[in-house]
A = this chain, B = another copy of it.
Amino acid sequence: MLQIIGSIGAVSAGLDLGKEGPLVHIGSCIASLLGQGGPDNHRIKWRWLRYFNNDRDRRDLITCGAASGVCAAFRAPVGGVLFALEEVATWWRSALLWRTFFSTAIVVMVLRTFIEICNAGGCGLFGKGGLIMFDVSTVTVTYHMMDIIPVVVIGIIGGVLGSLYNFFLHKILRLYNLINQKGKVHKLLLSLSVSLFTSACLYGLPFLVECTPCDSSLAESVCPTNEGSGNFKQFNCPDGHYNDLATLLLATNDDAVRNIFSTTTSAEYHPISLLIFFALYCILGLFTFGIAVPTGLFLPIILMGSAYGRMLGIAMKSYTNIDQGLFAVLGAASLMAGSMRMTVSLCVIFLELTNNLLLLPITMIVLLIAKTVGDSFNPSIYEIILHLKGLPFLDAHPEPWMRNLTVGELADAKLPVVTLRGIETVERIVEVLRNTTHNGFPVIDDGVVPPVGLAVGATEVHGLILRAHLVHVLKKKWFQREKRRTEEWEVREKFTWVELAEREGKIEEVAVTSEEMEMYVDLHPLTNTTPYTVMESMSVAKAMVLFRQLGLRHLLIVPKYEAAGVPPVVGILTRQDLIAYNILNAFPHLTKPTSREKGN
């Protein structure tokens, strides 16, 4: 199963090298499709895939898909696993660690095979650079105690720049949302104008800078060149000269990174060219993300960061011995951490991209400083995008005002909880399903014959039944004329577990005759008899930890008081309720605090 995702992810790497956004997306989409048993509409649903059609496996598969995507984009298998762990998964369990590891191992095997097959050069640009994309392992990294100062400076500036990038991207994405809502023509025009602007800049800007004479120590075949890849592009320059801005702009992004990371080329780039490059990529990076085109975040940020790092390296030349290429690497790392706020995964991705283990200690420090500085300004770019898109993603950290709200109060603010009896009439089930949108209902039995020692007439919380199962019952017409408890074999005969794991089915598709309406359904065998519960006095913040750590969808709220008139279940809390803006809708007097107040 995982192999399949892995392999497809790796093959798609061949199509679109270095765009991590689309690749992560493709990986997750394939995984999600497989988790649903194949696409619905084209009759290519595979029967055996239905075994994965349940919430947990689907979520695991999507996590593996995202890890495979990162792995395929950066040829960074361990980095992919850690990216999935640190950024993607809201719910982590130990088995997921080796499962994602397994899928990235397969991806890297497939990649390695294709690189070997493509060694002859028949696959275009694919496979360039081998398994390590931006190799800087040949540099001897020499740094001393005093070099800690430039490293700290890189980290701080990177953190500030990263959070500025987040700030402006937020504004532009909100603008784009307005434009995109106006219709397809606007969407297309937006994309068109951005791509025209990009082309004009990429071709026009190199004319602004002066040509630089080639270093006489370089062979003529190396400088200048007009090849697709390589340093020292000739462009508009006379023989023996090269255009340094063209070297950066008129190459694939991968090549641009390789050129700007290249060490021992300290005189190659003029600070003005780097500044133009940096400013251009800031603008393009901001305006390109969000148009109707699959774009990534990683590579623009790496390019911006490396240009900034190299400029800083030139400025600090007299203070430090660290190579400018390494400054570029550190600059890229700092901007990534400043914007994405990851630590371990970025560190490993950078290690796997650059293959220089000796750089690890300073990379770690840069990442930590940039993350800390960035966190003091605004949330990470992923949180911003998730929030803007309105995706129901449960935040890792509860908002501070959630501590002052109990789940009981939250449940009171919602519509009253709808409960079903263990043996319920069809009419009531249809009515409940038609009039509510809840996905789960508590099943409560009145006046049951209780275990020994209790008064007759006890109320029993039998558990929680899912909407999907109720729809299944109606579809299969699993009705009976009299009120009676069913036997287990009856249920097993009627429903396979594959059917019960499916979450589809709409009440609108169900037709029930008026005669059937008066019949009964025994809900007991289809009820989850051990739902998770919380007491009504628990704070929303604490309940949120429960949702996040256990990967829950529903939580029954049990009363704190026990007395006549208190129902055994006072409410139901769903994952959806806990997404911050949903609570804000229910409690408009609670204002969203600034991110600075946000506890960690």
A residues contacting B by CB (< 8 A) are 77-78, 81-82, 85-86, 92, 94-95, 97-98, 101-102, 104-105, 108-109, 112-113, 116, 130-132, 137, 144-145, 343-344, 347-348, 351-352, 355, 357-358, 360-361, 364-365, 368, 371, 396, 448, 450-451, 453-455, 457-461, 463, 529-535, 537-539, 542, 545-546, 549-550, 558, 560-566, 568, 600
Contacts and interface: CB of A to CB of B under 8 A. Distances in A.
B530 A563 contact: no
Given A550-B549, A563-B450, A364 B132 contact: no
Nearest to A131: B358
Contacts of A94: 86, 396
Contacts of A365: 105, 109
A108 B535 contact: no
A560 B460 contact: yes
A77 B359 CA distance: 12
A535 B533 contact: yes
B145 A95 contact: no
A98 B600 CA distance: 12
Given A131-B358, A459-B562, 11 more contacts: A94-B396, A108-B360, A109-B365, A131-B361, A137-B137, A137-B357, A355-B357, A458-B562, A459-B561, A530-B534, A530-B539
A454 B343 CA distance: 52
6 contacts: A94-B396, A104-B364, A105-B361, A105-B368, A351-B351, A531-B535
A146 to B, nearest CB: 11
Contact of A357 (B105, B132, B450): B132
Nearest to A556: B535
Q: Which 7 residue pairs across A and B have the least CB separation, nearest first?
A: A458-B563, A105-B364, A530-B538, A549-B549, A459-B562, A458-B561, A455-B564
Contacts of A545: 550
Contacts of A533: 533-535, 558
Given A98-B344, A533-B533, A361 B112 contact: yes
Given A364-B77, A530-B542, A561-B458, A97 B105 contact: no
Contacts of A560: 460-461
A81 B344 contact: yes
A529 to B, nearest CB: 5
B357 A131 contact: yes
A151 to B, nearest CB: 10
A364 B108 contact: yes
Nearest to A453: B565
Contacts of A144: 116
Contacts of A459: 561-563
A130 B348 CA distance: 20
A368 B101 contact: yes
A140 to B, nearest CB: 11
Contacts of A131: 357-358, 360-361
Contacts of A568: 562
A351 to B, nearest CB: 7
Contact of A565 (B130, B355, B455, B546): B455
Contacts of A453: 565
Contacts of A343: 97-98, 101
A573 to B, nearest CB: 14
Nearest to A364: B105
Nearest to A545: B550
B355 A97 contact: no
B368 A563 contact: no
Contacts of A539: 530
Contact of A563 (B82, B457, B550): B457
Contacts of A529: 537
